[in-house]
């Protein structure tokens, strides 16, 4: 019997108890046959005493067996708890040293399966990232050619076709950018390793200023409500800009004309709230809105359905969470993103972020 085997564990655990119970049984038998005055005992009394003793010994032995099996399978229980507590992205190998040797081959084969699955997922992520990156250059060239063509004198029919080509190219470029952001925000790439200390209010202010011209062109006003004091979080400035930009893009797509988009920043806990005044979203659509490529049946904006999926991925990469709510007075849509505060003792420095008012 090898070490860490269930057989060895049960033998070591149960053998002393079995020997003790056997000794007690023999001792009780000797006591009855040698020390008890049989003349004062009836045979049926002796019989029932021996039956009671055997039943008690059997119950004790049964309890010892159950206790030994449970202690022997404690490693299996720990393994089960570890698997249950893991996230869907965690495909790390299981610790084979914590389980009995008889179950070791099962854990080894499970680790092999997890390894192959991890390799497949990584290959898929690399393919998506590389494909999106490689498509960006020819699509940008196609967009430039269509813009140059639109500057030429064209018939109305040709101009409409070229405009459709440009719009389709813009959507494909946007989709490629979103796929690259998804690949970057994926937990498997560990974006947390590049986190720095950031002021959430300042990041929202900077990104909001960049979106003012586009909102103004669509007769939409941007309103910011943020505290004057910094709201510190640990994060990635590029990913945060994509998160805010995707929410603003959705708000501009579905908001009223003329309309208002409110951006709010909270500090306890650090949070971002973006609310539009559009038609809003039904409860069932709100539950599925964060799924990749999901589009509500009433959606006619032509988006790819990745905006809110990217928002969720970036929020989760920052250790936060997000939810959708109906806007003020039951109209519009409110997106709430809550971030954890900065980690105490984390060796992070404030990133070089330009300030804007």
Segment 230-273, tens digit of pLDDT: 999 999 888 899 899 989 988 998 888 899 999 999 988 999 99
Beta-bridged to residue 326, according to DSSP, are 333
Q: Which helix (H) or strand (E) holds 196?
A: strand 196-199
Segment 124-182, tens digit of pLDDT: 667 766 666 677 778 888 888 888 888 888 888 888 888 888 888 887 777 777 777 76
Whether 335 contacts 324, CB under 8 Å: yes
**Per-residue tokens: 39:** 């003349």
Structural domain 105-183, CATH architecture: Orthogonal Bundle (1.10)
Helix, strand or coil for residue 271?
strand
Angle ∠(273,191,293) on CA atoms, nearest 5:
60
Q: pTM (2 decimals)?
A: 0.57
Whether 322 contacts 336, CB under 8 Å: yes
CA distance 124 to 121: 5
CA distance 214 to 217: 5
Domain boundaries, the chain: 6-85, 105-183, 196-338
Provide the CATH number for the domain formed by 196-338 in this structure: 3.30.565.10
pLDDT tens for the chain, 357 residues long, are 445 566 566 666 667 767 776 777 677 667 666 665 555 555 566 666 666 767 777 777 777 777 767 776 777 778 888 888 877 667 788 887 777 777 778 888 888 888 888 887 777 667 766 666 677 778 888 888 888 888 888 888 888 888 888 888 887 777 777 777 766 666 666 677 778 999 999 999 999 999 999 999 999 999 999 998 999 999 988 889 989 998 998 899 888 889 999 999 998 899 999 999 888 888 888 888 888 777 776 665 656 677 888 898 889 888 899 999 988 877 889 999 999 988 655 555 544 333 332
Do the two domains 105-183 and 196-338 of this chain adopt the same fold? no
CA distance 179 to 131: 9
The DSSP bridge pattern shows strands 220-225 and 259-267 to be parallel
Beta-bridged to residue 196, according to DSSP, are 235
Q: Strand 321-326's sheet: what is its strand order? A: 220-225, 259-267, 270-275, 333-338, 321-326
Whole-angstrom CA distances from 201 to 153, 216, 240 are 47, 22, 11
Angle ∠(137,138,141) on CA atoms, nearest 5:
90
Q: Is the omega angle on the peptide bond into residue 180 within 30 degrees of 0, that is, cis?
A: no
CA distance 232 to 343: 10
């Amino acid at each position: 019997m090898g070490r860490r085997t269930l057989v060895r564990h049960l033998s070591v655990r149960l053998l002393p108890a079995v020997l003790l119970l056997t000794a007690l049984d023999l001792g009780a038998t000797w006591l009855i046959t040698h020390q008890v005055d049989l003349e004062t005992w009836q045979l049926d009394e002796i019989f029932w005493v021996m039956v009671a003793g055997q039943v008690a010994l059997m119950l004790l032995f049964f309890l010892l067996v159950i206790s030994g099996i449970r202690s022997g399978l404690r490693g299996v229980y720990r393994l089960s708890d570890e698997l249950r507590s893991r996230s869907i992205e965690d495909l790390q190998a299981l610790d084979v040293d914590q389980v009995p040797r008889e179950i070791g081959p099962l854990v080894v084969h499970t680790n092999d399966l997890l390894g192959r699955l991890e390799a497949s997922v990584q290959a898929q992520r690399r393919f998506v990232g590389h494909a999106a990156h490689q498509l960006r250059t020819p699509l940008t060239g196609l967009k430039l050619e269509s813009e140059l063509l639109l500057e030429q004198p064209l018939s109305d029919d040709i101009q409409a076709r070229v405009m459709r080509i440009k719009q389709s190219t813009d959507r494909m470029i946007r989709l490629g950018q979103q796929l690259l952001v998804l690949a970057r925000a994926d937990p498997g790439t560990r974006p947390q390793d590049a986190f720095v200390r950031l002021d959430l209010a300042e990041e929202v202010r900077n990104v909001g200023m960049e979106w003012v011209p586009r909102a103004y062109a669509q007769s939409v006003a941007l309103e910011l409500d943020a505290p004057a004091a910094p709201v510190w979080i640990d994060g990635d400035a590029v990913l945060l800009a994509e998160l805010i930009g995707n929410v603003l893009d959705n708000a501009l797509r579905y908001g009223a004309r003329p309309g208002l988009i409110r951006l709010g920043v909270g500090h306890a806990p650090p949070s971002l709230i973006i609310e539009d005044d559009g038609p809003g979203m039904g409860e069932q659509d709100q539950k599925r809105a964060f799924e990749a490529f999901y589009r509500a049946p009433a959606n006619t904006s032509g988006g790819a359905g990745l905006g809110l999926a990217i928002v969720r991925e970036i929020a989760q990469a920052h250790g936060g969470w997000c939810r959708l709510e109906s806007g003020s007075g039951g109209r519009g849509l409110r997106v709430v993103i809550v971030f954890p505060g900065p980690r105490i003792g984390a060796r992070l420095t404030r990133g070089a972020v330009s300030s804007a008012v």
